[in-house]
Amino acid sequence: MRKVSDSRFASFLKGVCISILLYADDIILVAPSVTYLQQLLFVCEQELMWLEMSLNVKKSPCIHIGARYSAKCCNIVNTEGQELSWTIEVRYLGVFIEAVSFFKCSLDNAKWSFYCSFNSIFGRVDRLASNEVII
C-alpha cells in the first residue's frame, strides 16, 4: 500500500489514499485515467515480485466507471506484456461492481444465492419443523 500511496500516480480523498484497496490477497487499483492505472499496475507488480508473488492476468479484469464508461481505450498490460481484459462487471469479495456512469454494485447474485440456499433448506424441512426452526 505504501509503495502505491507514495507514487505520484496515487489519488487521495480527504488525505486517504484511494488508489489501492486490499483484503487478504485481493487488490483493487483505482485511477482517474488509463495511463495512471497502467503506472499503478507497474508499481504494484514491482512490489509483488519483491514478495515472490505474481499477478494472475486471467483473474484481473479492468472496468471503466464514469461518463465515458463505454468508450474503448488502450489495453493495460503487465510487466510481462500480457493484456488485462476490459469487462462490464467485476466481482470483488462476492459483490459485483458494474461499469456504468456512476459507482454501482449489483447484489443480484448474492440475492439469488441466498434464495437458492433458503429454498434448498426449506425443501428439506418443509412442514416437519416448527416455525422457530424455519425462521
pLDDT of 110 over the 90 cut = no
pLDDT of 14 over the 90 cut = yes
CA dihedral sign, ordered 51, 56, 109, 123: negative
Q: Residue 39 — very low, low, confident or very high, per pLDDT cuts 50/70/90?
A: very high
Is-above-0.85 flag for pTM?
no
Instruction: Tell me the residue ranges of DSSP E strands in the chain.
Output: 12-13, 16-17, 20-23, 26-29, 76-77, 83-84, 89-92, 95-98, 104-106
| Residues 51-99 pLDDT 10s | 898 888 888 889 888 887 788 888 899 988 899 988 888 888 878 888 8
Provide the residue ranges of all domains of the chain, joining segments of one domain with +.
2-106
